[in-house]
Structure 1
Amino acid sequence: MEARDGVGRVDRVDRAMSWRPAVTGVAEVFHAHWRDHAYPGHTHDTWTLLVVDDGVIGYDLDRHDHTAVRSGVTLLPPHVVHDGRALTSTGFRKRVVYLEQDVLGADLVGPAVDAPLLPDAGLREAVSRLDRALVARDDLEAESRLALVVERLTAHLVRGRPGVVGTVQPAPGRVACLAREMFDADPVGTPGVAAVAHDLGVTTPHLVRSFGRAFGIAPHQYVVGRRLDLARRRLRDGVPSAVVATETGFHDQAHLTRHFRRFLGTTPGRFQSGR
């Protein structure tokens, strides 16, 4: 971050924030902009999934030098000692998603120690989308984004290892239709995309891809659309928007308003008043 004093001089300010989302598999989200701070050697009991937005981070992982740069994604395994420091005079800005240990297999710790930087632009964008969904508290979207990220991380870490084969998944069209039926049955109380995938006996990434291929929309977008249909009906019945938000599966009125404006180009209040 940057702050200006009364005479227009720019001072760089260190800033950090963290929170724990209500998304299974995500232990914490951490955003930081450090100018001078350096991390001493330490460990986490989670996987550290890191993207750098500005600057370059140098760090030792298991007593070997590495760098985290903007062109890739850095994945640090749990219980392995690492530190961290800026390699540029302007410091660095980073976003971190800490993943629970069981999100990735223990057998992937070794490959992650050997090659923590994954130079994959598509993976970086996928992590950024996951981070944005977590910031926005769009839990259904974050759940789907996380599954796709984990699948891609796993593919990087198992590449070239013998004996690693994919699981045969059911036909995509059938999976998509069954999932839509489950979402339609209870769009507010649906336990989540991962739970629906589990009930159908498929992986979450397979469900996400199958749904998109069949209907041209991601499952979380479909569920939000159905919830907005319910919200519109309740608003037309004269129910206050704050009540409608909680009744139709949104966190609060602000969450409903953001999606309402994004999908319908207006606010719940204006929609209800006819303006």
Structure 2
Amino acid sequence: MQNLKKHLTFINNKFKNLNMDKHFHDEYSFSLIYDGNHSYENEKEKFTFASGMIQVVNPYEIHSTKNSSWSYLNIMPSTELINNIASHLTQDESKKDILFNPLITDSKAIKLFHHLFMLMSHNKENKIDIDTAMIELFEHILKFHSSNTLEKIVNITCTKKELNRALEYMNDYNKKDEITLSDISEQIGISKYHFIKEFKKYIGITPNQYLQIKKANWTKELLQKDIPLCHIAYECGFTDQSYMIKVFKKFYGYTPTKLNNIQLYNK
């Protein structure tokens, strides 16, 4: 599934004194409410969702809203995306039409949801960052908040030699090109869903964290050549200079400019 934008949309929205007649959506809807209350009714139950809760609406589920004012972060994955994740994790193509519980309150799910939403709303983040966060969120929700809980997540492993082949690819790719999880996982013949688990098991961090550290290190190397920061950002594959500075400071504790100043002072 190459075009993630087609399968994962999001919005930060609010309503005041809203009434909505019975309707349904073609895709899943996950909403993290951060203010107000949402009085909601589906074909089976009535709910009042409050701040700190994740409301879930499954595809084609008839539902309505009664005089509610609330603010929320909303992520809408397609049925194709959810089916794709479920079938890869279980290695079972029959895992389709997953139904999720209407209410999620566990702190890990909320943290993973918020992290994914912030990445998607920040245009400077890369595809691997979003892909990783998406997989971590929906794997967790599929395991713990699905009516047909995925109890048998298939553990597809790889050898250290195979992982080293993936690392070589990550170390040697053209820094100016965008790389995806699928690009990397294809080097060792497993899906990106299982690659994330194996990579973290052996290396201790996610593939995206590894690449960000590599980019920060490449930035430091180029800083020693007195190259303008905007050129360094491009050469290292960052979307722009400000995002490069943010990532660099995350791993070094100071900005690239400060490092330059130190080096000039020591000349």
TM-score norm. by structure 1 comes to 0.75
- Is 1:103 aligned to 2:90, yes or no? no
> Which residue is 1:236 aligned to?
224
Structure 1 pair 118–25 and aligned structure 2 pair: CA distance change class (3 A): farther
Show structure 1 runs of 5+ residues with no match.
Answer: 1-21
C-alpha separation in 2, matches of 1:65 and 1:32: 22
Q: Residue 180 of structure 1: which of 153, 167, 178 is its match?
A: 167
Aligned-CA RMSD value = 3.1
* Alpha carbons of structure 1 residues 176 and 35: separation in structure 2 relative to 1, 3 Å: farther
Q: Take 2:110 and 2:154, find their aligned partners in 1: how far apart are those partners?
A: 25
Indicate the SS of the match to 1:138. Answer: coil
Asked if residue 122 in structure 1 is aligned to residue 108 in structure 2, the reply is yes
- Partner SS for 1:167: coil
2:34 maps to which of 53, 56, 62: 53
Q: Which runs of 5+ in 2 are unaligned?
A: 85-94
Q: 1:167 to 1:30 in 2, by over 3 A?
A: same
Give the alignment of 1:77-226 within 5 angstroms: 77-84=58-65, 87=68, 91-105=69-83, 109=97, 111-112=99-100, 115-136=101-122, 137-139=124-126, 140-155=128-143, 156-157=145-146, 159=148, 165-171=152-158, 173-174=160-161, 176-186=163-173, 188=175, 189=177, 191-226=179-214
Which aligned segments of 4 or more residues in structure 1 are displaced greater than 6 angstroms? none
Greater length-normalized contact order (CA 8 Å, ≥ 6 residues apart) = 2
Deviations 1:148-169 (A, max 9, x none): 11222322325458xx743340
Please, what TM-score do these two structures have when normalized by structure 2?
0.77
Give the stretch that moved more between structures: 125-134 or 65-74.
Answer: 65-74
1:117-145 Cα offsets, whole Å, 9 max, x none, are 23432222111121222233422222101
